[in-house]
């Protein structure tokens, strides 16, 4: 095996089956994601995506592989806030102690799960905290960092809530509109091939800071998207990435045995079809345009969009067949 750049560099490593169970992000995960996005936005610019990745990549392999995905993000943005003098470790540790005294280090009760007041710490998803009674250290740190950022006026609760709502509004329906338009309009397809962000903007979809590249499946070529180093994903048009896309198994095996991966997702391609794997980067995101199903001639774009799934736009599935 060639030399690796860190525990995150898993492309091509042997791995087991891909856990494909869907996972709706818990509130704490959405909040950690929102805080990271806000701290790096065009107004604050406290750090870059590359910097947050660098901090995570410096973790030892055992820690990297056992920490939940969003806890690694909390580790990254809190470390950078300390390094850049935005917050101090001492004040965050003091805040953690206060939260413990107030009992906010304990996981909320089922009753509290229905309390949506801005000042309440929302309940965590059951499959994340089964058997736990207290917040793990990094989740408590995330809560303490949030409180200190708000107290210092760096962020507001309203901004965090708005960012969560903005991301909640993103999803596969946006990518499906792009695919349906490309199926129905050859001119748009050409513009999408030339500049994905500009084509998305034609449909009123706000462009991201990263480049969006469309990949067009044919009867001889099937495209599959992965991010072997982390979880780069076209959030602007697909929303948050599914848990399996971020998993070590998918990131490892997609480049090593793509046909086997596709088979696990229920997609078996003829031997004559080339499978081409595309590794996303911090600058470039990919959107697969699947083959248009036969029998859909004359369909409206809205009806066509109903055939396009998130998984088809990642490349682990084909478009749905009309019924």
For the annotated catalytic residues, the residue numbers are: 227, 230-232
The pair of three-digit structure tokens given for residue 33, joined into one six-digit string: 């994601």
Per-position b or e across 193-228, b if 16+ CB within 10 A of its CB: eeebbebbeeeebebeebebbbbbbeeeebbbbbbb
**Alpha-carbon gap, residue 265 to 279, rounded angstroms:** 19
With beta carbons less than 8 A apart as the criterion, state whether 85 and 91 touch.
Answer: no
Q: Which of 85, 84, 99, 83 is nearest to 146 (CA)?
A: 99
Which DSSP symbol is given to 114? G
Longest Cα separation, the chain: 65
Give the closest residue to 47 by CA, choosing from 1, 92, 85: 85
R_g of the chain computed on alpha carbons: 21
């Amino acid at each position: 095996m060639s030399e690796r750049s860190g525990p995150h560099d898993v492309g091509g490593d042997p791995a087991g089956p891909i856990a494909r169970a869907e996972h709706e992000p818990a509130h704490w995960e959405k909040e950690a994601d929102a805080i990271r996005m806000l701290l790096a936005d065009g107004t604050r610019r406290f750090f870059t995506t590359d910097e947050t990745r660098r901090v995570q990549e410096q973790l030892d392999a055992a820690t990297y592989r056992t920490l939940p995905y969003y806890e690694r993000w909390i580790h990254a943005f809190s470390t950078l806030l300390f390094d850049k003098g935005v917050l101090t470790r001492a004040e965050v540790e003091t805040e953690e102690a206060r939260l413990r005294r107030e009992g906010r280090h304990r996981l909320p009760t089922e009753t509290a799960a229905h309390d949506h007041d801005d000042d309440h710490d929302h309940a965590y998803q059951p499959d994340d905290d089964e058997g736990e009674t207290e917040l793990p250290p990094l989740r408590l740190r995330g809560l303490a960092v949030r409180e200190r950022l708000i107290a210092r006026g760096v962020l507001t609760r309203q901004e965090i809530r708005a960012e969560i709502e903005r991301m909640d509004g993103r999803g596969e329906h946006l990518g499906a509109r792009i695919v349906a338009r490309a199926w129905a309009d050859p001119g748009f397809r050409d513009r999408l091939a030339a500049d994905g962000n500009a084509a998305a903007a034609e449909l009123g979809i706000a462009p991201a800071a990263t480049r969006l590249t469309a990949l067009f499946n044919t009867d001889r070529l099937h495209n599959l998207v992965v991010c072997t180093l982390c979880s780069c994903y076209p959030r602007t048009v697909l929303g948050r990435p599914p848990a399996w896309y971020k998993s070590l198994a998918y990131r490892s095996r997609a480049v090593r045995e793509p046909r086997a991966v596709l088979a696990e997702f229920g997609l078996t391609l003829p031997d004559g079809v080339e499978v081409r794997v595309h590794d996303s980067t911090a600058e470039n995101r990919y959107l697969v345009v699947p083959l248009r199903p036969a029998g859909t001639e004359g369909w409206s774009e809205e009806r066509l969009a109903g055939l396009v799934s998130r998984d088809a736009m990642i490349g682990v599935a084909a478009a749905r067949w009309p019924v």
